Amino acid sequence: MGTVSNLGYPRIGEQREWKKALEAYWIGELPEEQLEGELKRLRLHHLRKQQAAGVDLIAVGDFTRYDHLLDHSVAFGLVPERFAGLQADGGSALYFAMARGAEGIAACEMTKWFNTNYHYIVPEWTQESAPELRSNPWLADFEEAKSALGIVTKPVLVGPYTFVRLSKGIASGAREQAVHKLLPVYAQLLVQLEAAGAAWIQLDEPALAGDVDAGDWPLLSEIYHVLRAAAPQLKLMVQTYFDAVDNYETLVSLPVDGIGLDFVHDRGVSLRQIAKFGFPSQLVLGAGIVDGRNIWRSDLTAALAVLDCLKQCIPPERIMLQPSCSLLHVPVTLKHEKKLQGIERLALAFADEKLGELAVLRTALRDGISAVKLELQDNALLFDALRQSPGRNRFAQTSVSMDDGAAFSRRSAFNERRKAQQAKWNLPLLPTTTIGSLPQTPEIRKARQQWRTGKLDDTAYETLIRAKIAEWIALQEAIGLDVLVHGEFERSDRVEFFGECLDGYVFTENGWVQSYGSRCVKPPVVFGDVAHIAPVTLAETVYAASLTSKPVKGMLTGPLTMLNGSFVRTDIPRKEVAFQLADAIRAEVEALEAAGIGMIQVDEPALREGAPLKQREWKEYLGWGVEAFKRTVGTVRDTTQIHTHLCYSDFHEMLGAIRDMDADVISLETSRNHGTLIESLHSEAYDKGIGLGVYDSHSPFIPDTAEMERIILEALDAVPPELLWVNPDCGLKTRSIEETLRSLRRMVEAADRIRGSLVQIGVFT
């Protein structure tokens, strides 16, 4: 009764051992054999921890060398033709080339995993794609756990429907054909797992919590009839998360053994569906009762109330207690957090603590409320204290959302502003710039760490930062960039840095989560009401501008990215938090403008990731998201040029909202998805300044000048030359100095050549 099942565990390790091993391997400091040994040690350690926490069904297949969707693509032989030269290797060289690119070969596209901050490698299909089972890493992990630890684990795969929905190159009308190609591979895989002794298989189908075409439900039924027939002894759990499923009745009629539902992020819909339609007696319910994607302690009384409702329809022995989704999205453990004290620490729960909460709920389900009386009392006291916290009651929440949005619209239309800005800046055709961040060398990171720990005083640290700013202003001028940046050397993470300078945030020491590949971020925590304290970026930006006659952009993080890049309080609507952030960042915008900074970039790379799974809810989200951005920048003068940056999103889905943001210049990540966006711009023209990234700044492999020229020319086919900017895809923080200089020189050379060609043919004089 009350089985605890985990849907997935963080990969990175308590001290980011996974990240460090991968990066050491990539630079040649760790041989592949040692890398595999370290990854195996981490896999087994994670399994032991979950076993000790009392998890009955422990997932395997959640661990990966880079990304779990990439694991599927490689295992299924879905390798794009451009990697044909690496096919013979079939191992790490091919795998990491698909993830990160190789010399002369573009990496596979990367985009957000639903509405989270995790990025996955997009599977690529063509009409000729013929999936086959080339390897079975799920079987290998299952057998490893069984032989090394004696644990019969639960292999976790992305379900066939979601895999196809997330793939590139499959039109909606060709979805059925792709599924039919893929089903024999899944069937073969399950047969092997069944033969090895697996009992439960988790098939993640989060796409079912989004928009599902009516015609896809018969296809889903076919999928699971085929898989049921292929491995009749396996228990199949179809796992959904991030929202409720609209077609609940059809979902629970699938020929499987269990259905997993998210009872945290479904706004009560799943509970109402079960109460109305019942739950089939032959199925097990995977009850996602603990939040798998935020770091707050669960309200155990509320969770038990949900379980009490479920018990009215489902016997407790057929309820599995689970996180709402994989714990991939939260940090590993609180045990290394030494600085957080009092309620700020007590209110948090990372992956290990969430498994502890599930254990408490299991005890309550098995033995009754009295068995966890003390835990419930402590939990209730915590939530009472949170409600009364002064930091959460700084001002009336309604005052933040009642202002007239028109008050934050720009004073003039874009065409008028553009004339004023061009008269002020006199920029050339196809102006070149960067997205903002420049290489964060080991020297800078070490100095920041020493400064944080008191080993380096403020004066010495500031002197180092100013020296780096001066060095890179000179380098940017020498390269020939038209609009410069100060480099953001004083910043760790774009969200964490600003959060540290705003009231209402708290910070962890080791609260790392995976963003993409080995890239980990440490999201700050919006604990209370947010307010601006003092200028954050003024000193460094003004200093950089004093060193050059060229424009220097002020660099800020936008309210939606601050929101979606943080762990956010859940006691008030996210819209309210976004408007608090917008008001705080607007104070920074106005301080920069008052100091003479006439170009200000307010980045919103995380705008798309906060969008709901269901398109019918996008209008509301994008409405207040755009309002938050305009609330941030709308008070500036016409001559102040507002830039923004978006990355790793399906921009064609939201061009209207991007236009409504009314930024003077927007730069987009497009090198991994260039053709799709160009097609969108052909069908829906963008009428403001726009920069389409000419190379992938996250790949160590730099295209030559001719390739960058080709990309610029493709962009000019869809964007008027007077509106096109030339820039990298994203920031250059993770690149080496040599890579950065070489790539920017090629970019400027490519822009100069195209600029010259346009002048020659009379487009401009």
- Give one DSSP letter per residue of 523-582, joined into a string: --EEEEEEEE-S-SSHHHHHHHHTT-SS-EEEEEE-HHHHHHTSEE-SSS-HHHHHHHHH
- Above 70 in pLDDT, residue 153? yes
Instruction: Please enumerate in sequence order all residues whose Cβ is within 8 A of that of 487, keeping only pairs 6 or more positions apart, or say none.
Output: 437, 438, 468, 469, 472, 544
535 alpha-carbon distance from chain centroid: 28
Please, which pLDDT band fits residue 48 given cuts at 50, 70 and 90?
Answer: very high
**What CA–CA distance (Å, rounded) separates 307 from 287?**
8
Where does the pLDDT of residue 402 fall: very low under 50, low under 70, confident under 90, or very high at 90 and above? very low
Residue 673: predicted pLDDT: 61
pLDDT of 401 reads: 47
Phi, psi of 689 (to 5 degrees): -60, 140
How far lies 261's CA from each of 16, 204, 234, 267, 310, in Å?
30, 11, 20, 12, 12
44/47 Cα distance (integer angstroms) = 5
Quote the pLDDT of residue 492: 81
- pLDDT for the residue 398: 43
Per CATH, is 3-390 categorized as 1.10.274.10? no
Checking if the pLDDT of 88 tops 70, the result is no
What per-residue string of b and e applies to 637-672 under the rule 16 or more CB within 10 Å gives b? ebbbbbbbbbbbbebeebbebbbbbbbbbbbbbbbb
Report pLDDT digits (tens) over 353-368: 999 999 999 999 999 9
Binned at pLDDT 50, 70 and 90, residue 410 comes out as very high
- Confidence band, pLDDT 50/70/90 cuts, at residue 43: very high
Q: How far is CA 305 from the centre of its chain?
A: 32
Q: Beta-carbon neighbour count of residue 317 at 10 Å?
A: 11
Q: How far apart are the first and last CA of the chain?
A: 79
Q: Which residue type, as a one-letter code, is found at position 459?
A: T
In CATH terms, 407-760 corresponds, of 3.40.50.720, 3.30.360.10, 3.20.20.210, 3.40.50.10440, to: 3.20.20.210
CB count in 10 Å sphere of residue 16: 19
Judged against a pLDDT cut of 50, whether residue 400 lies above it is answered with: no
Question: pLDDT digits over 236-276, tens only?
Answer: 999 999 999 999 999 999 999 999 999 999 999 999 999 99
Split at pLDDT 50, 70, 90, the class of 172 is confident
Give the start-to-end residue ranges of the domains of the chain.
Answer: 3-390, 407-760
Q: Is 60 helix (H, G, I), strand (E, B) or coil?
A: strand
Give the residue-averaged pLDDT of 453-463: 92
The pLDDT > 70 percentage for the chain reads 96
- Spatial neighbors of 216 by CB under 8 A, at least 6 apart, are 161, 175
What is the separation of C-alpha 743 from the centre of its chain, rounded to a whole number of angstroms? 26
Q: Catalytic: which of 265, 329, 643, 698? A: 698
Distances from the Cα of 108 to the Cαs of 78, 112, 136, 174, 699, in angstroms?
11, 13, 21, 21, 11
Two tokens, residue 646? 């978006």
Tokens 């440490």 belong to: 522
Residue that has been written with the tokens 């016997």 in this structure: 315
Give binding residues for 5-methyltetrahydropteroyltri-L-glutamate as ranges: 16-19, 112, 117, 519-520, 609
Residues 486-507 have a mean pLDDT of 89
Query: Residue with structure tokens 């915590």?
Result: 382
At residue 399, the pLDDT reads 47
- Model pLDDT, residue 298: 98
Question: Which residues are documented as binding site for L-homocysteine?
Answer: 435-437, 488, 603
In the annotated binding site for Zn(2+), the residues are 645, 647, 660, 669, 730
pLDDT digits (tens, 9 = 90+) for 649-660: 566 677 888 899
Of residues 586, 595, 690, 585, the one with CA closest to residue 636? 586
Band the pLDDT of 66: cuts 50, 70, 90: very high
Average pLDDT over residues 722-744: 93
Query: Rounded to whole angstroms, how far apart are CA atoms 408 and 3?
Result: 52
Among 119-133, 253-267, 690-704, name the most confident range.
Answer: 253-267
The mean pLDDT value for 667-693 works out to 79
Question: According to the model, what pLDDT value does residue 246 have?
Answer: 97
Residue 698 has a pLDDT of 78
What average pLDDT is seen over the chain? 93
**If you average pLDDT over residues 649-673, what whole number do you get?**
80
- 3-class DSSP state for residue 626? helix
d(CA 101, CA 703): 11
What mean pLDDT is predicted for residues 470-477? 97
pLDDT surpassing 90 at residue 309: yes
Predicted local distance difference test score (pLDDT) of residue 686: 86
Residue 685 has pLDDT above 60, yes or no: yes
Residues annotated within the binding site are: 16-19, 112, 117, 435-437, 488, 519-520, 603, 609, 645, 647, 660, 669, 730
pLDDT above 90 (res 668): no
Confidence at 765, pLDDT banded by 50, 70, 90: very low
| Rounded Cα–Cα distance for residues 338 and 352 (Å) | 16
Q: Do residues 635 and 408 touch, judged by C-beta distance below 8 A? A: yes
Selected residue with higher pLDDT from 669 and 473: 473
For residue 119, indicate whether it is catalytic: no
Q: pLDDT over 90 for what percent of the chain? A: 81
Is-contact 258 283, C-beta < 8 A? Answer: yes
* 8 A C-beta contact, residue 730 and residue 711: no
Using 50, 70 and 90 to split pLDDT, how confident is the model at 452?
Answer: confident
Region of 17 please: left (phi>0), alpha (psi -120 to 50) or beta: alpha
**Does pLDDT of 369 surpass 90?**
yes
For the cut 80, the answer to whether the pLDDT of residue 403 exceeds it is: no
Which residue, 239, 300, 735, is CA-closest to 487? Answer: 735
